[in-house]
Amino acid sequence: MVAPWVDYSWTTRNLKNTSPVSAGQYSLAATMKATEALFFYTPLIGASADAALTLRVHGGTSGTNSVVKVLVVADGVWSAGVELGRYCTGGRIQANQWVSCRVPIVDLAPAGSALSGIALQEGRRVNLPTLYFDELSVQGATAPPPVVVTVSPTSVSLPTGGSKTFTATVKGSPVTTVAWSVQEGSAGGTITSAGVYTAPTRAGTYHVKATSTSNPTSSAVATITVGSPQPGRLWVSGYYTGWNSDFYPPEKVDFSAMTHIIVGRVTPNRDGTVNTQFDNSNGPQIARTLAQRAHAAGRKAIIMVGGSGEHDGWVGAASNANRARFVQNLIRAMDTFGYDGLDIDWEPIESVDKPFLLSLVKELRAARPGMLLTIPIGWVNANFPEDADPWFANLVPYMDQINVMTYEMTGPWDGWQSWYSSALRGDSGNRPSSVTASLNAWVAAGLPKAKLGMGIPFYGMAWRHITGPYQNYTDWSDYVGSDNDFTYQYIQELSSRGVYHWDEAAQSSYITFATPVVDGTVRWISYDSPQAIAAKGAFARNNGYGGTIIWTINQGCTNPATGANPLLDAVKSAFQP
């Protein structure tokens, strides 16, 4: 064995065998059982087009029946391998004699690849007699290819406090990991081991650096220009639903925190007519009161159309046969109740629905050019960012707001850990949801940040069996309740018996209960506290997003008599400073 080659074999061998020997003092004897191998590691060498492994092999007493494969580790990956005998004099390993063998490296790995090991392995899953090897050499090898690091993107502009994920690619080494750093130190921001950079609070030009862990002399740098945060106020569109108006009487609604109120709901019929009861026996009057109060406060009022369970009505009403009538009836509802626009809550939006949805919003915009049009869309599983369908970019010219329903983003689904209803960050493969991941996916699909909003729930998700986040779900019996059941008022009532927690990585809040509550089984509740809302407001502002929707402002009220709504106050501070 000659340096720099190192023996890492997994078979019985003798590196100083004295007989038989082809040349010199010793040969190598190996008695390989099924799949065992001689393996020799080396620091990287380059596989040139004319490089070859040369050796002499002696088949012992029955070499003719011995099958040995030659494999290499190229660019960190094992090759498929070839049979050694085919490359030897006579086309096989011979018994009781030495034969010469020459294996071109290009038969094992692409020319130019970096080799870090060569193996001679038993190839038929049988036990072999003792074989002998001598004069092993790699001829024509070159210096290894250089280790090259690249970073993407190479430059980016961010507001103060903004964030960006950088990726690094390493070529010329089987080790593709990098160490991230900020050249200016902590004054230039921070970067995680996953490449997530967060800008400092001071504007300036900074640099992140990716350094190869296998070759610290190889690195790449990206430039970040940090400017001031996005100025001005973001939109806050709060849903108000008729079925829980008792939670938050219309006369008590605080409009100072909102730019838009979205009042639900008008529902579509298959023939293009609409139902305008607003899910309450006094719904029409509630709708008029809210529109009048919104306008008195200088705010906009929008009618929520549709919602869960109304898919069939959407399909019929937006059909070619009924769409013109439907457009007229929607605009008539706006005018009758004194509203400024419509929220097109078509759930779910199937592939076959898309051309009809697009035609509907085009015709609405043409019929009333100055109206407001908004639409809620689904959150995106971070494991499948391609689910953010680029088709939705077709809606952008006609929509004032496109709001992502980033709540209830967890469940006892296969492979999931217990997770938050609306985590801002912290998604991973077994908890693949966050506000950040969903918004990033929709931006990558072509939706502009300025028209994108995030969702904030004013209710929590309650769980039994498990005691907090980052645990394996058991089954659907873990779930206790959420929307309409675990309002913020109810969570506040329960909080005196629990412990508040803040998850810095996820930017999420939750309460745990040592003694189960509610039905005697609830162990923890995930919800958006004022602390979580503040983090979302900073994120939206620092990253250039348009604003937020709230589902629902009714559920944030903690005292219907006074109209106290601590979560709405938190939204005002975070989104409307």
- As given in the structure block, the two tokens for residue 561 are 């008599």
- pLDDT in the model for residue 42: 83
pLDDT score, position 232: 54
Apex CA 415: angle with CA 410 and CA 420, to 5°?
25
| Residue among 261, 305, 239 nearest 484 (CA) | 239
pLDDT at 247: 97
- The helix (run of H) or strand (run of E) holding residue 115 is strand 114-122
Q: What is the pLDDT, as a whole number, of residue 401?
A: 97
pLDDT value at residue 3: 58
Residues in the chain where the model's pLDDT stays below 70: 1-3, 63-64, 143-145, 228-232
Domain ranges of the chain: 6-139, 148-227, 235-458+529-575
Q: CB of 164 within 8 A of CB of 544?
A: no
Q: What letter does residue 417 receive in the DSSP assignment?
A: B
The answer to whether the CB of 236 falls within 8 A of the CB of 272 is no
**For the purposes of burial, counting CB atoms within 10 Å of the CB of 250, is it exposed (0-12), middle (13-18) or buried (19 or more)?**
buried
CA dihedral 246→248→250→254, nearest 10 degrees, is 180
Query: Where is 138: in which H helix or E strand?
Result: strand 131-139
Residue environment code for 449-478, b if the CB has 16+ CB neighbours within 10 A, otherwise e: eebbbbbbbbbbbbbbbbeebebebeeeeb
Judging by DSSP bridges, how do beta strands 163-165 and 196-198 pair with one another?
antiparallel
| pLDDT for 568 | 97
Helix (H, G, I), strand (E, B) or coil at 255: helix
SS3 145: coil
Q: Do the two domains 6-139 and 235-458+529-575 of this chain adopt the same fold?
A: no
Select the CATH number that applies to the domain covering 235-458+529-575 from these four: 3.40.50.1820, 1.10.8.350, 3.40.50.720, 3.20.20.80.
Answer: 3.20.20.80
Integer Cα distance of 241 and 360 in angstroms:
24
Helices (H) and strands (E) counted in the chain, each on its own, are 8, 34
pTM (two decimals): 0.64
Confidence (pLDDT) at 280? 97
What is the structure's pLDDT at 512?
98
Give the CATH number of domain 148-227.
2.60.40.10
pLDDT of residue 164: 84
Q: Residue 22 in contact with residue 56, Cβ under 8 Å? A: yes
User: Encoding tokens for residue 400?
Assistant: 């004032």
Strand partners, 6: 41
Instruction: Give CA torsion, residues 493, 497, 498, 500, to 10 deg.
Output: 60
Predicted confidence at residue 155, as pLDDT, reads 83
Cα Rg of the chain, angstroms: 33
Q: Which residues pair with 370 in a beta bridge?
A: none
Which amino acid, 382? A
CATH of domain 6-139: 2.60.120.260
